[in-house]
Amino acid sequence: MDDTQEPRWLDLDEQRTFMAFAYMLVQLPAAFDAFLQRTAGISLFEYQIIAALSVAPERTARLSRLAEFTASSLSRLSNGVTRLEERGWMRRTPDPDDGRYTLGVLTDAGWDKVLAASPGHLGEVRRLVLDPLTKVQQQQLHRISERIMRVVEPDKPPINDRLRDLPHLRGRPTHAEPQCLEQPVEATQDS
Amino acid sequence: MDDTQEPRWLDLDEQRTFMAFAYMLVQLPAAFDAFLQRTAGISLFEYQIIAALSVAPERTARLSRLAEFTASSLSRLSNGVTRLEERGWMRRTPDPDDGRYTLGVLTDAGWDKVLAASPGHLGEVRRLVLDPLTKVQQQQLHRISERIMRVVEPDKPPINDRLRDLPHLRGRPTHAEPQCLEQPVEATQDS
DNA sequence: AAAGATTGAAATTTCAATCTTT
DNA sequence: AAAGATTGAAATTTCAATCTTT
């Protein structure tokens, strides 16, 4: 963003900043994974898959998209989906638009599972990430995350834009509880 | 930090903040892992082990400490160390202070490996994390990371404090290049 | 007994084919 | 041929013993 030369080493402040950040980067997902495993009997990876489906149009997404979203290989994702199918939480179906794609669809049981696991997980999100920060820090964290991802994925728009442009989930209450995962549902439409 | 009631769901801003953050949390380590694998033939997990040793007193640390640092099980760490031993980069030795512990020691070849892999990795750190942020954002990221980790690990001091209190690595140049990993070396002593 | 570490078996992930559809 | 997905074999990780030292 600022200097174009080739600085081999980080200065002291940069080292400390990165060490604090990198340490969090390793520890926090492990904390979420352990929590989900303990409270919902599901790994963070599997939760991410069904949570993504729960906010997708028709609760359906291409496996390749899910692989991107979870930063996993198609192979790993395929195996994960097989496991989730065996548990009855999702199923596969070929994409009618292009037979090369396979769609993953969340089942009703999968939807129930997301609804059951989410409050606890989001409680941890609040406890570990949101509550410790001031409002300003939350906003900064949002901006910082987007700035970093803009470099990691130069060709892709911000994740929230990608999720928001799902023109879906309109009148689909299906369950009494609002879902409010990582992605707004009804609120999405009019913002 | 602010409210003590039990809010089940996140509001729209909170959802977006967390989605942007969580997405980075998944994608960024994958990017570092892929980079290290490609440029140094080593996983992020393995790099973290030898990099931690390279800044430790006597280039030595207990395996249980390394497991904590890498957020991995002792079993996983033990297997990883075996692999690194097979590659000649570290070796085990019983802790003379307490025979229950096993110490991991970085070999000279391991030190060389860290020196060979670090510039590239730190270049990625700069490119993906530091350069996209303003100075203020870098400082915020440091503080945010520490605030979050203070809740994740309530009993532990900040990671940078834990690393700094290693009274070590004084006159131990051994190699021409400065190392400057995620942790200062000479600078550590007089700060 | 408790803490740290290791081990074998099972589960998961990676890697390199292979398969299917376009 | 190219893109997406799956599969089997190999590598890694997890889980539940087991082992060693205190």
Q: What is the pLDDT of residue A164?
A: 57
pLDDT at A177 > cutoff 60: no
pLDDT band at A163 (very low <50, low <70, confident <90, very high): confident
Encode pLDDT of A102-122 as tens digits.
999 999 999 999 999 999 999
pTM above the 0.85 mark? yes
- Nucleic strand D contacts from chain B, 42-71, CB < 7 Å: 43, 45
- Residue-wise pLDDT for A28-37, tens only, equals 999 999 999 9
Q: What is the pLDDT of residue B9?
A: 78
Shortest distance between the Cα of B67 and any Cα of chain A, in A, equals: 11
- CB closer than 7 A to strand C: which residues? A 43, 45, 72-73, 75-76, 79-80, 83, 94, 98-100; B 37, 62-64, 67, 74-75, 77-79, 81-82, 92, 95, 100-102
The CA distance from A17 to A178, in Å, is 38
Answer whether residue A65 shows pLDDT above 60. Answer: yes
SS3 content of chain B, % helix, strand, coil (to 5): 60, 5, 35
Q: Which of residues 108-147 of A touch B (CB under 8 A)?
A: 119, 122-123, 125-134, 137-147
Answer yes or no: is pLDDT of A56 > 80: yes
Q: Quick one: pLDDT at residue A171?
A: 31
Q: Please tell me if residue A156 touches chain B, with a CB cutoff of 8 Å.
A: no
The nucleotide minimizing the C1' distance to residue A86's CA is C11
Question: Which chain B residue has its CA at the smallest distance from A147's CA?
Answer: B132
Q: Does the distance separating the beta carbons of A12 and B184 come in below 8 Å?
A: yes
For residue A9, what pLDDT band results from cuts at 50, 70 and 90?
A: confident
Residue B22, both tokens: 């969580």
Q: Best of B9, B11, B23 to disrupt the A interface by mutation (most A CBs within 10 Å)?
A: B23
A69 has a pLDDT exceeding 50 = yes
**pLDDT range class, residue A7, cuts 50, 70, 90:** low
Q: What does the pLDDT look like over B27-74, one tens digit per residue?
A: 999 999 999 999 999 999 999 999 999 999 999 999 999 999 999 999
Share of chain A above pLDDT 90, in %: 79
pLDDT band at A139 (very low <50, low <70, confident <90, very high): very high
Mean pLDDT to the nearest integer, B99-122: 97
Residue B175 reports pLDDT greater than 70: no
The half-sphere exposure of A116 on its side-chain side, counting CA atoms within 13 A, is 12
Is residue B149 over pLDDT 90? yes
Distances in whole angstroms, Cα of residue B25 to Cα of each of A91, A142, B5: 27, 12, 27
> Residue B173 above 70 pLDDT?
no
CB proximity list for B138: less than 8 A, separation 6 or greater: A13, A14, A17, B130
Mean pLDDT for chain B?
86
B48–A122 C-beta distance less than 8 A: no
Q: Which residue has the higher pLDDT, A50 or A167?
A: A50
